[in-house]
Protein backbone atom coordinates (compact mmCIF):
# COMPACT_ATOMS: atom_id res chain seq x y z
CA UNK A 1 0.00 0.00 0.00
CA UNK A 2 1.40 3.35 -1.06
CA UNK A 3 0.80 5.82 1.77
CA UNK A 4 1.85 9.47 1.72
CA UNK A 5 2.32 10.93 5.17
CA UNK A 6 2.68 14.55 6.14
CA UNK A 7 6.16 15.29 7.45
CA UNK A 8 5.75 18.84 8.74
CA UNK A 9 3.55 20.32 11.44
CA UNK A 10 3.09 24.06 11.05
CA UNK A 11 1.08 26.59 13.02
CA UNK A 12 0.15 30.00 11.65
CA UNK A 13 -1.62 32.91 13.33
CA UNK A 14 -3.66 35.45 11.33
CA UNK A 15 -6.27 38.06 12.06
CA UNK A 16 -8.46 36.70 9.26
CA UNK A 17 -8.44 33.32 7.54
CA UNK A 18 -10.13 33.33 4.12
CA UNK A 19 -10.98 29.93 2.64
CA UNK A 20 -11.48 30.19 -1.13
CA UNK A 21 -10.00 32.27 -3.93
CA UNK A 22 -12.95 33.32 -6.09
CA UNK A 23 -14.18 36.90 -6.29
CA UNK A 24 -15.79 36.76 -2.82
CA UNK A 25 -12.65 35.43 -1.16
CA UNK A 26 -10.27 37.78 -2.95
CA UNK A 27 -12.42 40.82 -2.24
CA UNK A 28 -12.93 39.86 1.41
CA UNK A 29 -9.18 39.32 1.79
CA UNK A 30 -8.29 42.70 0.26
CA UNK A 31 -10.86 44.46 2.44
CA UNK A 32 -9.60 42.67 5.56
CA UNK A 33 -5.97 43.43 4.72
CA UNK A 34 -6.66 47.13 5.25
CA UNK A 35 -6.52 46.49 9.01
CA UNK A 36 -5.04 43.04 9.66
CA UNK A 37 -2.94 40.07 8.60
CA UNK A 38 -4.80 37.77 6.23
CA UNK A 39 -4.35 34.24 4.89
CA UNK A 40 -6.00 33.07 1.67
CA UNK A 41 -6.20 29.29 1.46
CA UNK A 42 -7.25 27.54 -1.75
CA UNK A 43 -7.22 23.84 -2.58
CA UNK A 44 -6.01 24.52 -6.13
CA UNK A 45 -4.62 27.80 -7.48
CA UNK A 46 -5.79 31.39 -7.24
CA UNK A 47 -7.09 31.20 -10.81
CA UNK A 48 -9.23 28.09 -10.33
CA UNK A 49 -12.71 29.23 -9.29
CA UNK A 50 -16.22 29.69 -10.63
CA UNK A 51 -15.55 33.42 -10.91
CA UNK A 52 -12.68 32.78 -13.31
CA UNK A 53 -15.07 31.21 -15.83
CA UNK A 54 -17.93 33.69 -15.37
CA UNK A 55 -18.85 35.21 -18.74
CA UNK A 56 -21.81 37.50 -18.21
CA UNK A 57 -20.66 40.28 -15.91
CA UNK A 58 -21.71 42.33 -12.91
CA UNK A 59 -25.30 43.57 -12.61
CA UNK A 60 -25.49 47.03 -11.04
CA UNK A 61 -27.82 50.01 -11.52
CA UNK A 62 -25.14 52.45 -12.71
CA UNK A 63 -26.92 54.09 -15.63
CA UNK A 64 -28.89 57.30 -15.20
CA UNK A 65 -32.01 55.61 -16.60
CA UNK A 66 -31.71 52.75 -14.11
CA UNK A 67 -32.14 52.65 -10.33
CA UNK A 68 -31.61 50.25 -7.41
CA UNK A 69 -35.43 50.11 -7.13
CA UNK A 70 -35.71 48.68 -10.64
CA UNK A 71 -32.93 46.20 -9.89
CA UNK A 72 -34.67 45.28 -6.64
CA UNK A 73 -37.92 44.54 -8.42
CA UNK A 74 -36.26 42.36 -11.08
CA UNK A 75 -34.44 40.38 -8.38
CA UNK A 76 -37.61 39.84 -6.34
CA UNK A 77 -39.63 38.70 -9.36
CA UNK A 78 -36.93 36.22 -10.39
CA UNK A 79 -36.76 34.87 -6.82
CA UNK A 80 -40.42 33.78 -6.84
CA UNK A 81 -41.32 35.06 -3.38
CA UNK A 82 -38.45 33.57 -1.38
CA UNK A 83 -36.03 36.51 -1.48
CA UNK A 84 -35.17 38.24 1.77
CA UNK A 85 -36.22 41.84 1.10
CA UNK A 86 -33.54 43.39 3.32
CA UNK A 87 -30.77 41.32 1.73
CA UNK A 88 -31.89 42.37 -1.73
CA UNK A 89 -31.94 46.03 -0.69
CA UNK A 90 -28.39 45.65 0.60
CA UNK A 91 -27.33 44.03 -2.67
CA UNK A 92 -28.79 46.54 -5.09
CA UNK A 93 -27.86 49.65 -3.10
CA UNK A 94 -24.39 48.73 -1.88
CA UNK A 95 -23.74 47.00 -5.20
CA UNK A 96 -23.62 50.37 -6.93
CA UNK A 97 -21.07 51.63 -4.41
CA UNK A 98 -18.92 48.48 -4.50
CA UNK A 99 -18.88 48.43 -8.31
CA UNK A 100 -17.81 52.06 -8.48
CA UNK A 101 -15.08 51.31 -5.94
CA UNK A 102 -13.87 48.42 -8.10
CA UNK A 103 -13.67 50.76 -11.10
CA UNK A 104 -11.88 53.38 -8.97
CA UNK A 105 -9.33 50.71 -7.99
CA UNK A 106 -8.48 50.40 -11.68
CA UNK A 107 -10.67 47.54 -12.92
CA UNK A 108 -11.30 48.11 -16.63
CA UNK A 109 -14.75 47.23 -17.87
CA UNK A 110 -15.72 47.43 -21.55
CA UNK A 111 -16.63 50.88 -22.83
CA UNK A 112 -18.73 52.17 -25.73
CA UNK A 113 -18.43 55.79 -26.81
CA UNK A 114 -16.75 56.69 -23.53
CA UNK A 115 -19.40 55.06 -21.35
CA UNK A 116 -19.67 51.66 -19.69
CA UNK A 117 -21.03 49.03 -22.06
CA UNK A 118 -24.12 47.55 -20.44
CA UNK A 119 -25.65 44.26 -21.51
CA UNK A 120 -29.18 42.93 -21.13
CA UNK A 121 -29.80 39.47 -19.68
CA UNK A 122 -32.83 37.36 -18.86
CA UNK A 123 -35.07 38.75 -16.12
CA UNK A 124 -33.57 42.26 -16.24
CA UNK A 125 -35.79 45.19 -17.23
CA UNK A 126 -32.78 47.39 -17.99
CA UNK A 127 -29.36 47.07 -19.59
CA UNK A 128 -27.25 46.98 -16.42
CA UNK A 129 -24.74 44.13 -16.81
CA UNK A 130 -21.24 45.52 -17.20
CA UNK A 131 -18.58 43.21 -18.61
CA UNK A 132 -14.88 43.02 -19.37
CA UNK A 133 -13.10 41.50 -22.35
CA UNK A 134 -16.45 40.78 -23.99
CA UNK A 135 -17.36 37.41 -22.46
CA UNK A 136 -14.22 37.10 -20.29
CA UNK A 137 -15.43 39.12 -17.28
CA UNK A 138 -14.51 36.50 -14.68
CA UNK A 139 -10.97 36.08 -15.97
CA UNK A 140 -10.42 39.85 -16.09
CA UNK A 141 -11.74 40.50 -12.56
CA UNK A 142 -9.88 37.57 -10.99
CA UNK A 143 -6.58 38.52 -12.65
CA UNK A 144 -7.06 42.15 -11.59
CA UNK A 145 -7.64 41.19 -7.95
CA UNK A 146 -4.92 38.52 -7.91
CA UNK A 147 -2.42 41.20 -8.95
CA UNK A 148 -3.46 43.34 -6.01
CA UNK A 149 -3.51 40.39 -3.60
CA UNK A 150 -0.02 39.20 -4.49
CA UNK A 151 1.36 42.71 -4.02
CA UNK A 152 -0.28 43.20 -0.63
CA UNK A 153 2.18 42.61 2.21
CA UNK A 154 -0.65 41.88 4.65
CA UNK A 155 -1.87 38.86 2.65
CA UNK A 156 -0.25 35.41 2.57
CA UNK A 157 -1.50 32.95 -0.04
CA UNK A 158 -1.54 29.19 0.52
CA UNK A 159 -2.23 27.45 -2.80
CA UNK A 160 -2.79 23.70 -3.24
CA UNK A 161 -3.86 23.58 0.39
CA UNK A 162 -6.93 21.65 1.50
CA UNK A 163 -8.86 22.84 4.54
CA UNK A 164 -10.47 19.65 5.81
CA UNK A 165 -11.89 20.78 9.18
CA UNK A 166 -12.78 24.02 10.90
CA UNK A 167 -11.36 24.50 14.36
CA UNK A 168 -14.76 24.85 15.99
CA UNK A 169 -15.23 24.67 19.75
CA UNK A 170 -18.22 25.66 21.87
CA UNK A 171 -20.05 27.22 18.89
CA UNK A 172 -17.07 29.41 18.02
CA UNK A 173 -14.57 29.09 15.18
CA UNK A 174 -10.87 29.70 15.85
CA UNK A 175 -9.36 28.70 12.51
CA UNK A 176 -8.91 25.46 10.60
CA UNK A 177 -6.88 22.32 10.01
CA UNK A 178 -5.33 22.03 6.56
CA UNK A 179 -2.98 19.95 4.43
CA UNK A 180 -0.63 21.36 1.76
CA UNK A 181 -0.18 19.05 -1.22
CA UNK A 182 3.28 18.57 -2.68
CA UNK A 183 5.04 19.82 0.44
CA UNK A 184 3.14 17.32 2.59
CA UNK A 185 2.58 19.94 5.27
CA UNK A 186 0.11 19.55 8.11
CA UNK A 187 -1.04 23.06 8.98
CA UNK A 188 -3.10 24.51 11.79
CA UNK A 189 -4.41 28.00 11.06
CA UNK A 190 -5.38 30.08 14.09
CA UNK A 191 -7.52 33.13 13.31
CA UNK A 192 -9.60 35.70 15.15
CA UNK A 193 -12.13 35.43 12.30
CA UNK A 194 -12.66 32.85 9.56
CA UNK A 195 -14.37 33.67 6.27
CA UNK A 196 -15.51 30.73 4.14
CA UNK A 197 -15.76 31.75 0.48
CA UNK A 198 -15.19 28.33 -1.05
CA UNK A 199 -17.79 28.45 -3.83
CA UNK A 200 -20.74 26.25 -4.65
CA UNK A 201 -21.43 22.60 -5.33
CA UNK A 202 -22.77 22.28 -8.88
CA UNK A 203 -19.66 20.26 -9.73
CA UNK A 204 -21.24 17.23 -8.07
CA UNK A 205 -23.57 16.87 -11.08
CA UNK A 206 -22.54 14.95 -14.18
CA UNK A 207 -23.33 17.80 -16.56
CA UNK A 208 -22.10 21.09 -15.16
CA UNK A 209 -20.54 24.41 -16.14
CA UNK A 210 -18.44 24.41 -12.96
CA UNK A 211 -14.76 23.47 -12.55
CA UNK A 212 -14.06 20.05 -11.05
CA UNK A 213 -13.18 21.68 -7.71
CA UNK A 214 -16.73 22.99 -7.11
CA UNK A 215 -18.01 20.12 -5.00
CA UNK A 216 -19.33 21.92 -1.94
CA UNK A 217 -16.30 21.53 0.34
CA UNK A 218 -17.04 24.81 2.10
CA UNK A 219 -20.65 23.83 2.70
CA UNK A 220 -19.59 20.51 4.24
CA UNK A 221 -16.90 22.22 6.36
CA UNK A 222 -19.39 24.64 7.86
CA UNK A 223 -22.07 21.96 8.30
CA UNK A 224 -19.68 19.69 10.23
CA UNK A 225 -18.82 22.65 12.45
CA UNK A 226 -22.50 23.14 13.34
CA UNK A 227 -23.47 25.87 10.90
CA UNK A 228 -26.95 25.93 9.43
CA UNK A 229 -27.63 25.24 5.75
CA UNK A 230 -30.55 26.81 3.91
CA UNK A 231 -32.30 26.63 0.50
CA UNK A 232 -30.26 23.61 -0.56
CA UNK A 233 -32.98 22.39 -2.94
CA UNK A 234 -32.47 25.35 -5.25
CA UNK A 235 -29.88 24.50 -7.90
CA UNK A 236 -29.89 26.80 -10.89
CA UNK A 237 -29.41 25.05 -14.22
CA UNK A 238 -27.99 27.37 -16.83
CA UNK A 239 -30.21 27.09 -19.91
CA UNK A 240 -27.46 27.34 -22.50
CA UNK A 241 -24.43 25.13 -22.00
CA UNK A 242 -22.80 23.79 -25.16
CA UNK A 243 -23.76 20.22 -26.04
CA UNK A 244 -21.32 17.74 -27.57
CA UNK A 245 -21.39 14.00 -28.08
CA UNK A 246 -18.16 13.72 -26.08
CA UNK A 247 -19.75 15.24 -22.98
CA UNK A 248 -17.44 18.27 -23.11
CA UNK A 249 -19.32 21.47 -22.37
CA UNK A 250 -18.73 25.16 -21.82
CA UNK A 251 -21.00 28.00 -20.80
CA UNK A 252 -22.75 30.09 -23.43
CA UNK A 253 -23.54 33.29 -21.61
CA UNK A 254 -27.03 34.58 -20.88
CA UNK A 255 -25.83 37.74 -22.62
CA UNK A 256 -25.90 35.94 -25.98
CA UNK A 257 -29.69 35.82 -25.73
CA UNK A 258 -29.61 39.33 -24.33
CA UNK A 259 -28.07 40.47 -27.60
CA UNK A 260 -30.88 38.85 -29.59
CA UNK A 261 -30.10 35.14 -30.12
CA UNK A 262 -33.11 32.84 -30.59
CA UNK A 263 -33.84 29.29 -29.44
CA UNK A 264 -35.20 26.72 -31.89
CA UNK A 265 -36.42 23.15 -31.51
CA UNK A 266 -35.75 20.34 -33.96
CA UNK A 267 -38.85 21.21 -35.98
CA UNK A 268 -37.27 24.56 -36.78
CA UNK A 269 -39.69 26.41 -34.50
CA UNK A 270 -38.70 29.32 -32.25
CA UNK A 271 -40.39 28.05 -29.10
CA UNK A 272 -39.74 30.51 -26.23
CA UNK A 273 -42.55 32.99 -27.16
CA UNK A 274 -45.06 30.23 -26.37
CA UNK A 275 -43.61 29.79 -22.85
CA UNK A 276 -43.16 33.37 -21.63
CA UNK A 277 -43.98 36.91 -22.68
CA UNK A 278 -40.30 37.83 -22.60
CA UNK A 279 -39.35 34.84 -24.75
CA UNK A 280 -35.58 34.21 -24.67
CA UNK A 281 -35.21 36.90 -21.99
CA UNK A 282 -37.42 35.10 -19.48
CA UNK A 283 -35.82 34.19 -16.11
CA UNK A 284 -33.40 31.29 -16.22
CA UNK A 285 -35.67 28.74 -14.57
CA UNK A 286 -38.36 29.36 -17.18
CA UNK A 287 -35.93 29.02 -20.09
CA UNK A 288 -34.26 25.90 -18.67
CA UNK A 289 -37.61 24.13 -18.15
CA UNK A 290 -38.79 25.14 -21.63
CA UNK A 291 -35.64 23.68 -23.18
CA UNK A 292 -36.06 20.52 -21.13
CA UNK A 293 -39.64 20.16 -22.38
CA UNK A 294 -38.60 20.63 -26.01
CA UNK A 295 -35.78 18.10 -25.64
CA UNK A 296 -38.17 15.59 -24.10
CA UNK A 297 -40.80 16.07 -26.83
CA UNK A 298 -38.21 15.63 -29.58
CA UNK A 299 -36.34 12.84 -27.75
CA UNK A 300 -33.16 14.81 -28.43
CA UNK A 301 -30.43 15.78 -25.94
CA UNK A 302 -30.23 19.41 -27.10
CA UNK A 303 -31.99 22.34 -28.79
CA UNK A 304 -30.47 24.96 -31.09
CA UNK A 305 -29.32 28.51 -30.45
CA UNK A 306 -29.16 30.72 -33.53
CA UNK A 307 -27.32 34.00 -34.01
CA UNK A 308 -27.17 34.15 -37.82
CA UNK A 309 -29.60 37.09 -37.92
CA UNK A 310 -27.27 39.27 -35.80
CA UNK A 311 -24.30 41.42 -36.78
CA UNK A 312 -21.47 38.92 -37.27
CA UNK A 313 -18.56 41.23 -36.49
CA UNK A 314 -20.17 42.47 -33.28
CA UNK A 315 -20.92 38.92 -32.16
CA UNK A 316 -17.33 37.79 -32.80
CA UNK A 317 -16.00 40.70 -30.75
CA UNK A 318 -18.57 40.60 -27.94
CA UNK A 319 -18.36 36.81 -27.53
CA UNK A 320 -14.84 36.05 -28.69
CA UNK A 321 -14.20 33.32 -26.10
CA UNK A 322 -17.44 31.49 -26.94
CA UNK A 323 -16.71 31.81 -30.65
CA UNK A 324 -13.23 30.28 -30.20
CA UNK A 325 -14.55 27.38 -28.13
CA UNK A 326 -17.30 26.61 -30.66
CA UNK A 327 -14.78 26.74 -33.50
CA UNK A 328 -13.07 23.71 -31.95
CA UNK A 329 -16.22 21.80 -32.94
CA UNK A 330 -16.26 23.36 -36.42
CA UNK A 331 -19.15 25.63 -35.50
CA UNK A 332 -19.21 29.29 -36.57
CA UNK A 333 -21.63 30.89 -34.11
CA UNK A 334 -22.39 33.73 -36.56
CA UNK A 335 -23.66 31.23 -39.16
CA UNK A 336 -24.28 27.79 -37.67
CA UNK A 337 -26.91 26.64 -35.15
CA UNK A 338 -25.28 25.98 -31.78
CA UNK A 339 -26.39 22.83 -29.91
CA UNK A 340 -27.16 23.64 -26.27
CA UNK A 341 -28.83 22.04 -23.26
CA UNK A 342 -29.09 23.00 -19.57
CA UNK A 343 -26.32 22.17 -17.09
CA UNK A 344 -25.96 22.56 -13.32
CA UNK A 345 -24.54 26.03 -12.89
CA UNK A 346 -25.15 27.79 -9.59
CA UNK A 347 -25.93 26.78 -6.01
CA UNK A 348 -28.55 29.20 -4.69
CA UNK A 349 -28.59 27.64 -1.23
CA UNK A 350 -25.65 27.15 1.08
CA UNK A 351 -24.53 28.15 4.56
CA UNK A 352 -27.19 30.34 6.12
CA UNK A 353 -25.91 33.83 6.81
CA UNK A 354 -27.24 37.08 8.18
CA UNK A 355 -27.04 40.60 6.81
CA UNK A 356 -23.45 40.99 8.06
CA UNK A 357 -22.31 37.69 6.47
CA UNK A 358 -22.39 36.07 9.93
CA UNK A 359 -23.36 32.46 10.62
CA UNK A 360 -24.78 30.88 13.77
CA UNK A 361 -21.16 29.98 14.68
CA UNK A 362 -19.32 32.86 16.35
CA UNK A 363 -16.30 34.19 14.43
CA UNK A 364 -17.36 32.27 11.30
CA UNK A 365 -18.52 34.25 8.27
CA UNK A 366 -19.48 33.25 4.73
CA UNK A 367 -19.75 35.05 1.40
CA UNK A 368 -20.15 34.25 -2.27
CA UNK A 369 -21.80 31.15 -3.68
CA UNK A 370 -21.17 29.12 -0.51
CA UNK A 371 -23.52 31.44 1.39
CA UNK A 372 -27.30 31.49 1.54
CA UNK A 373 -27.99 35.20 2.04
CA UNK A 374 -31.62 35.11 0.90
CA UNK A 375 -30.77 37.40 -2.02
CA UNK A 376 -31.67 34.94 -4.76
CA UNK A 377 -34.82 33.35 -3.35
CA UNK A 378 -35.85 30.40 -5.50
CA UNK A 379 -34.07 31.57 -8.64
CA UNK A 380 -31.02 33.81 -9.13
CA UNK A 381 -31.33 36.81 -11.41
CA UNK A 382 -28.59 36.68 -14.05
CA UNK A 383 -25.27 38.34 -13.10
CA UNK A 384 -26.32 39.06 -9.51
CA UNK A 385 -23.77 36.52 -8.28
CA UNK A 386 -20.60 38.54 -8.90
CA UNK A 387 -22.31 41.55 -7.33
CA UNK A 388 -23.20 39.46 -4.28
CA UNK A 389 -19.54 38.44 -3.96
CA UNK A 390 -18.23 41.98 -3.59
CA UNK A 391 -21.15 43.28 -1.49
CA UNK A 392 -21.10 40.49 1.09
CA UNK A 393 -17.34 39.96 0.76
CA UNK A 394 -16.94 43.52 2.04
CA UNK A 395 -19.54 42.92 4.77
CA UNK A 396 -17.72 39.77 5.88
CA UNK A 397 -14.47 41.72 6.19
CA UNK A 398 -16.20 44.51 8.14
CA UNK A 399 -17.78 41.93 10.46
CA UNK A 400 -14.38 40.33 11.06
CA UNK A 401 -13.02 43.73 12.06
CA UNK A 402 -15.89 44.32 14.46
CA UNK A 403 -15.85 41.05 16.39
CA UNK A 404 -15.36 41.55 20.09
CA UNK A 405 -11.73 42.00 20.99
CA UNK A 406 -10.78 39.38 23.54
CA UNK A 407 -7.68 37.35 24.22
CA UNK A 408 -7.95 33.82 22.89
CA UNK A 409 -5.66 31.08 24.12
CA UNK A 410 -5.62 29.08 20.89
CA UNK A 411 -3.32 26.40 22.30
CA UNK A 412 -6.05 24.88 24.46
CA UNK A 413 -8.27 24.27 21.42
CA UNK A 414 -5.87 22.59 19.02
CA UNK A 415 -5.00 18.94 18.56
CA UNK A 416 -2.00 17.64 16.65
CA UNK A 417 -3.21 16.29 13.32
CA UNK A 418 -1.41 14.13 10.78
CA UNK A 419 -3.28 14.09 7.50
CA UNK A 420 -2.66 11.38 4.91
CA UNK A 421 -3.49 10.41 1.35
CA UNK A 422 -4.18 6.70 0.97
CA UNK A 423 -3.81 6.00 -2.77
CA UNK A 424 -5.53 2.63 -2.41
CA UNK A 425 -8.79 4.52 -1.77
CA UNK A 426 -8.66 6.58 -4.97
CA UNK A 427 -10.32 4.04 -7.26
CA UNK A 428 -13.24 3.37 -4.92
CA UNK A 429 -13.68 7.12 -4.34
CA UNK A 430 -13.82 7.77 -8.10
CA UNK A 431 -16.43 5.04 -8.49
CA UNK A 432 -18.67 6.56 -5.82
CA UNK A 433 -18.08 10.12 -7.08
CA UNK A 434 -19.27 9.12 -10.56
CA UNK A 435 -22.26 7.27 -9.12
CA UNK A 436 -23.27 10.29 -7.03
CA UNK A 437 -22.91 12.53 -10.10
CA UNK A 438 -25.26 10.25 -12.06
CA UNK A 439 -27.74 10.01 -9.18
CA UNK A 440 -27.90 13.78 -8.76
CA UNK A 441 -28.17 14.46 -12.50
CA UNK A 442 -30.95 11.94 -13.07
CA UNK A 443 -32.95 12.47 -9.88
CA UNK A 444 -32.34 16.04 -8.65
CA UNK A 445 -31.95 17.73 -12.02
CA UNK A 446 -34.35 20.15 -13.67
CA UNK A 447 -37.36 17.87 -13.07
CA UNK A 448 -37.83 15.98 -9.79
CA UNK A 449 -40.40 13.68 -8.19
CA UNK A 450 -40.85 11.77 -4.94
CA UNK A 451 -39.94 8.27 -6.15
CA UNK A 452 -36.54 9.22 -7.57
CA UNK A 453 -35.68 11.53 -4.66
CA UNK A 454 -36.48 8.82 -2.12
CA UNK A 455 -34.40 6.30 -4.08
CA UNK A 456 -31.43 8.70 -4.09
CA UNK A 457 -31.62 9.20 -0.33
CA UNK A 458 -31.68 5.44 0.17
CA UNK A 459 -28.66 4.90 -2.07
CA UNK A 460 -26.69 7.73 -0.46
CA UNK A 461 -27.32 6.14 2.92
CA UNK A 462 -26.08 2.80 1.55
CA UNK A 463 -22.90 4.41 0.25
CA UNK A 464 -22.31 5.87 3.70
CA UNK A 465 -22.67 2.47 5.39
CA UNK A 466 -20.49 0.76 2.76
CA UNK A 467 -17.46 2.87 3.71
CA UNK A 468 -15.15 3.16 6.68
CA UNK A 469 -14.47 6.85 7.19
CA UNK A 470 -11.07 7.96 8.48
CA UNK A 471 -11.15 11.42 9.98
CA UNK A 472 -7.80 12.55 8.58
CA UNK A 473 -7.64 10.77 5.22
CA UNK A 474 -8.00 12.66 1.92
CA UNK A 475 -10.38 10.43 -0.07
CA UNK A 476 -12.49 9.80 3.01
CA UNK A 477 -12.97 13.52 3.52
CA UNK A 478 -13.82 14.08 -0.16
CA UNK A 479 -16.45 11.33 -0.17
CA UNK A 480 -17.92 12.52 3.13
CA UNK A 481 -18.20 16.05 1.71
CA UNK A 482 -19.97 14.82 -1.43
CA UNK A 483 -22.43 12.81 0.65
CA UNK A 484 -23.25 15.75 2.95
CA UNK A 485 -24.01 18.04 0.01
CA UNK A 486 -25.95 15.39 -1.95
CA UNK A 487 -28.01 14.51 1.14
CA UNK A 488 -28.80 18.17 1.82
CA UNK A 489 -29.92 18.89 -1.74
CA UNK A 490 -32.00 15.73 -2.07
CA UNK A 491 -33.60 15.87 1.37
CA UNK A 492 -34.63 19.51 0.90
CA UNK A 493 -35.96 18.78 -2.61
CA UNK A 494 -38.05 15.92 -1.24
CA UNK A 495 -39.45 18.03 1.58
CA UNK A 496 -40.49 20.97 -0.64
CA UNK A 497 -43.72 19.64 -2.13
CA UNK A 498 -44.28 22.34 -4.72
CA UNK A 499 -42.62 23.82 -7.79
CA UNK A 500 -40.98 27.21 -7.33
CA UNK A 501 -38.20 28.87 -9.28
CA UNK A 502 -35.34 26.49 -10.01
CA UNK A 503 -37.02 23.68 -8.03
CA UNK A 504 -39.57 21.79 -10.15
CA UNK A 505 -41.51 18.80 -8.80
CA UNK A 506 -43.37 16.95 -11.52
CA UNK A 507 -45.68 15.50 -8.85
CA UNK A 508 -46.32 18.98 -7.39
CA UNK A 509 -46.20 21.23 -10.49
CA UNK A 510 -47.64 24.42 -8.93
CA UNK A 511 -46.47 26.97 -6.39
CA UNK A 512 -48.04 26.41 -2.98
CA UNK A 513 -48.55 29.34 -0.54
CA UNK A 514 -47.83 26.89 2.29
CA UNK A 515 -44.25 26.74 0.99
CA UNK A 516 -43.67 30.45 1.18
CA UNK A 517 -40.85 29.56 3.56
CA UNK A 518 -37.31 28.22 3.66
CA UNK A 519 -35.79 24.94 4.86
CA UNK A 520 -32.92 24.93 7.39
CA UNK A 521 -30.67 21.92 7.93
CA UNK A 522 -28.21 21.47 10.80
CA UNK A 523 -26.12 18.51 11.87
CA UNK A 524 -27.85 16.20 14.39
CA UNK A 525 -31.13 18.14 14.03
CA UNK A 526 -34.35 17.65 12.13
CA UNK A 527 -35.05 20.15 9.29
CA UNK A 528 -36.66 23.42 10.37
CA UNK A 529 -38.84 25.86 8.45
CA UNK A 530 -39.13 29.62 8.68
CA UNK A 531 -41.55 31.86 6.83
CA UNK A 532 -40.92 34.67 4.36
CA UNK A 533 -43.22 37.57 5.11
CA UNK A 534 -43.00 39.30 1.78
CA UNK A 535 -45.51 39.47 -1.07
CA UNK A 536 -43.86 38.94 -4.44
CA UNK A 537 -46.41 41.17 -6.14
CA UNK A 538 -46.34 44.01 -3.60
CA UNK A 539 -43.81 45.97 -5.62
CA UNK A 540 -43.45 49.61 -6.70
CA UNK A 541 -44.31 50.25 -10.35
CA UNK A 542 -42.01 53.24 -10.59
CA UNK A 543 -39.13 54.94 -8.88
CA UNK A 544 -39.41 58.16 -6.89
CA UNK A 545 -39.40 60.21 -10.10
CA UNK A 546 -42.22 58.19 -11.62
CA UNK A 547 -40.09 56.40 -14.24
CA UNK A 548 -41.36 52.92 -15.02
CA UNK A 549 -38.86 50.14 -15.78
CA UNK A 550 -38.79 48.64 -19.27
CA UNK A 551 -40.94 45.52 -19.73
CA UNK A 552 -42.65 46.25 -16.38
CA UNK A 553 -44.80 43.26 -15.53
Catalytic residues: 284
What is the DSSP-derived secondary structure letter of residue 468?
Answer: P
Distance of CA 81 to the CA centre of its chain: 20
Question: How many of the other CB atoms lie within 10 Å of CB of 156?
Answer: 15
Distances (CA, A) of 246 to 29, 187, 266, 339: 39, 40, 20, 13
Rounded distance between C-alpha atoms, residue 119 and residue 306, angstroms: 18
Distances (CA, A) of 148 to 99, 104, 282: 16, 13, 37
What is the DSSP-derived secondary structure letter of residue 380?
Answer: P
What is the DSSP-derived secondary structure letter of residue 419?
Answer: -
Rounded distance between C-alpha atoms, residue 526 and residue 457, angstroms: 15
Rounded distance between C-alpha atoms, residue 69 and residue 547, angstroms: 11
List, in sequence order, every residue forming a beta bridge with 85; answer none if it has no partner. none
User: SS3 for 95?
Assistant: helix
Q: Which residues of 435-471 are buried (b: 16+ CB within 10 A; e: fewer)?
A: ebbebbbebbbbbbeeebbeebbebbeebeeebeeee
Distance of CA 243 to the CA centre of its chain: 22
Rounded distance between C-alpha atoms, residue 119 and residue 127, angstroms: 5
- Residues 502/447, Cβ–Cβ less than 8 Å: no
- Residues 173/192, Cβ–Cβ less than 8 Å: no
Amino acid sequence: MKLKRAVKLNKYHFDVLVIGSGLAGLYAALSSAEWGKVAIVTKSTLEESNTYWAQGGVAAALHKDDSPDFHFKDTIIAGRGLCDETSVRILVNEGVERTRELIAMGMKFDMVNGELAQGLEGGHSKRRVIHAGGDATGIKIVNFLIDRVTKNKNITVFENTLVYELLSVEESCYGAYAYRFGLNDDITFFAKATIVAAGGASGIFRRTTNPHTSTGDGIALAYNAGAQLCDMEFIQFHPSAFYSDTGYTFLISEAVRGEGAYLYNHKGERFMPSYHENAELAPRDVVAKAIFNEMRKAVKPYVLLKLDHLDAEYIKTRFSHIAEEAKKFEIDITKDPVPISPAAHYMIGGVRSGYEAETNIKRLFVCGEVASTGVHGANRLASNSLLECIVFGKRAADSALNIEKEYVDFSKYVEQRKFKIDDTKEEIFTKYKNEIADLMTMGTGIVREEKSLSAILKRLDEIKTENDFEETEYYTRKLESLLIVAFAITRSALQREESRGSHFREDFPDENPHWHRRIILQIDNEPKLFSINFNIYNLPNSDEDGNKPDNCR
